[in-house]
A and B are shown apart, each in its own frame.
Chain A
Amino acid sequence: MSATAPLRAAAPQRRPSGSRAPRRTPNRPLRLVEPPATTPGRLAFVVLIGAVLGGGLVVLLLLHTLAAQDAFTLHRLQHQAATLNDAEQELTVANQQAAAPSALARRARALGMVPTGPMTIEHRRNGRLVGVATAAYVPAPPAPAVTPTPSAAAKPSPTASPSTSPSRSTSATRAPAHRHRSHPH
């Protein structure tokens, strides 16, 4: 700055010696020129561009916010789905365990049920009877009735097992004693 100051001061001193400046002033009178018609249009354009850009940014921000929000929702729902899946799996397994043959047999025996004995079967085509039927279970008079449902869920009730298999100590695993009756033929 300070270095250029002396140079500028010197410039006007040189100009009078030039020929162009004096020629311009006398010939053409100064008049106002209409301002360029494009000025307001360019401003509008700039404003428009600004608005578009600004709007775009805002929309982009919104989209990103939404996407992030969706990601969180997705994460949460996936977690929920996994939890429900686990619960379903657990219930399925519990159901299968309850439907397993040994569990069914235990419950059936607790309810006072016994395995079927021999059956007579009727052939549909000719009405012929085959097989030999015997009573699966003859209730022993002294044995009290099986205690109803509350105790049934747990294990063979002590009152039920002696009546179904009196001859065996391993009552939980034996078929009823009627199977060992003498054979008819």
Chain B
Amino acid sequence: MSATAPPRPRRPPAQPPTRGPQAPRGPAGGRRGPDPRFRLSVVLIVILFVLTLVAGKLLELQGLNRSSYSAMAQKQRLHTVTITAPRGAILDRSGQPLAETVDARDVYVDPHEVKDANLTATRLAPLLGTDAATLLPKLTQPSSFVYLARAVAPTLAEQVIALDLPGIGVLPTTKRVYPDGTLASNLLGFVHLDGSGAAGLEARFQSLLAGHDGEQTFEAGLSGSPIPDGRDVVKPARPGTSIQLTIDRDVQWKAQQAIAAQVKAVKADSGTVIVMDPRTGRLLAVAVAPQYDANKPPADVMSWDLDPAVGDTYEPGSVNKVITMSAALQEGLVTPTSPFKIPPQLHFAGATFHDAEQHGTERLTLTGVLAKSSNIGTIEVARKLGAAKLYSYLRAYGFGAVTGTGLPGEQQGLLPPVALWSQTTMPTVAFGQGIGVTAMQVASVYATIANGGLRVAPNVLAATIDGNGKTHALPKPAPRRVISAKVARELSDMLEAVTSNEGTAPAARIAGYRIAGKTGTAQRPVNGGYSGYTASFVGFAPADKPQLLVEVVVQNPRRGHFGGVVSAPVFHDVMSFALQSLGITPTGTRPPKARLTW
């Protein structure tokens, strides 16, 4: 209309030249009269104008802002869903899961949407395993999103959805499940709420276990269901790698049971049991007490020393004597029957040394010194050996360095360089005081003797299993010779005498089997002084064909403190169970007749 308005004033002057002769017509004739070509051109201009607008808009839509508009259109139709990569499991040596991930749901509420908070609470409470009174405040919070329950079972979530309560919704998530809550939780660690590793092996191998999330992009209608023949691009998730451990869950369980019971019975601070195959260094169990449930770790768990077997440094005590003996045997300074005269006390380098029990002058062989765990006898051996040699053997057995388990939080212990040793360091180190070791380091020493003098680093990882189910065995640690096979044999025979009636640990004996081992009763360093004891026993069986090694360490027992009394019974229980469980038969041979005195 407005477009046609301007030409109107021009019309009257245009009329006279063409319609001049027909002027006497009425006003109606004036409307009918204009030149058709003029009208056509006006219409044409109008049409062109409108078409220009349309073309302009088209240009804008398809040309100038094309990408942004097509992006908006795609965004309307395209939905992208994250495909969560399943976290790898942690398996025991026979493939039984110690930790695995399952689908779960989070139940949430939008309190603004809730119609009847009381009714909602009473209907939800039984499903979520709580009571209405605890749910109610969450339902009335001034917020638009509150979690009501985390990681519940999907079938339970279906029941929640079936209630069709306004404001209540569920979100997909995953849940880490430890089928036997406390089993090996010191090794496994636990995960955060988002499923990522928080501690232990879960944290150590986070990147391996986690995998990579994928995503699916598809066109969907208003209802959210995919449009058939629409775009559908799937970038598959790469599942996490599973880890197979060398742990045997039955032996691990028995070790945990036994150490927990003994820690309680002797009112100790803590305890550790290590079970290992000395031939391969494979750890079959690493049990500690107290233990926590990995499914619901206690609030203060982050302040725990999760795995004292590798993280707790203590003074080893008499179990260390075997290193002094082996060094002297290897250097050819003594033989198992070398005679030693043991006075009631020994003055050396300005200090006085006693044995654990009062005695008169004794005449012991080297075997007798070890079997009766004589400090004075061991100092005599160490004096023949010298500090430098003793130090080099301590290092060769792996003291002062991590053992190579790869367990998180592993300590290297405390072994001062020989240059820093004082006059009294050598004799005290000879019987295991004044240095700090971990239970794993001591286990490795005895595994070396059991394995004929070859040290194989303790290891806990057997294989990785990738997302396609393919197993990749991990490289075996290379053995390293520490002492000769002959010396290892002699030491093993000497250690068998420890479990004889004359030795310090008859309680470690197992009917039918030959057992070699050593007790340790050490003073515990606390804040620069000494307080309480560390009672330990480490041994292997069958002594003439070693296949299993068990180490028991009990920290600060208050009912009894000798390794042969506190720790040897635990060794007996765990070793008997493990021998039977793994089908290790007695060798049927008789132990050599050991000469302890002369």
Contacts and interface: CB of A to CB of B under 8 A. Distances in A.
Interface of A: 2-3, 64, 67-68, 70-72, 75, 83, 85-87, 89-90, 93, 96-97, 99-103, 105, 115-116, 118-121, 123, 128, 130-132, 134, 168, 170, 173-175, 179-180, 183-185
B15 to A, nearest CB: 14
Contacts of A131: 511-513, 585-586
A180 B180 CA distance: 28
Given A97-B180, A101-B180, A130-B585, A75 B154 contact: no
A174 to B, nearest CB: 5
A105 B96 CA distance: 17
B180 A102 contact: yes
Q: Kindly name the residue among A64, A70, A93, A173 whose own CB sees the greatest number of chain B CB atoms within 10 A.
A: A173
A130 B569 contact: no
5 contacts: A71-B228, A75-B226, A90-B102, A120-B512, A132-B511
A53 B177 CA distance: 61
B225 interface: yes
Given A89-B103, A170-B265, A128 B512 contact: no
Contacts of A72: 225
B253 interface: yes
Contacts of B265: 168, 170
A90 B183 contact: no
Contacts of A119: 512, 580
Given A102-B181, A175-B573, 8 more contacts: A67-B228, A89-B103, A90-B102, A96-B96, A96-B179, A134-B511, A170-B264, A179-B576
A120 B586 CA distance: 9
Interface in B85-108: 96-97, 100, 102-103
Nearest to B512: A131
- Interface size class on chain B is 35 or more
B153 A118 contact: no
Given A86-B103, A89-B102, A183-B509, A101 B32 contact: no
Interface stretch (B255-263, B273-281, B424-432, B437-445): B255-263
B155 A86 contact: yes
Contact of B512 (A2, A99, A105, A132): A132
Contacts of B97: 96
A97 B258 CA distance: 21
Given A96-B97, A100-B183, A173-B261, A3 B36 contact: yes
Contacts of A89: 102-103, 154
Nearest to B227: A71
* Top 8 closest pairs, chain A to chain B, by CB: A100-B180, A101-B253, A131-B512, A86-B154, A130-B588, A132-B511, A67-B228, A96-B179
B34 to A, nearest CB: 9
A99 B265 CA distance: 28
Contacts of B585: 121, 123, 130-131
A116 B580 contact: yes
Contacts of A103: 180
Interface in B465-520: 506, 509-513
B572 interface: yes
B249 A90 contact: no
B572 A179 contact: yes
B392 interface: no
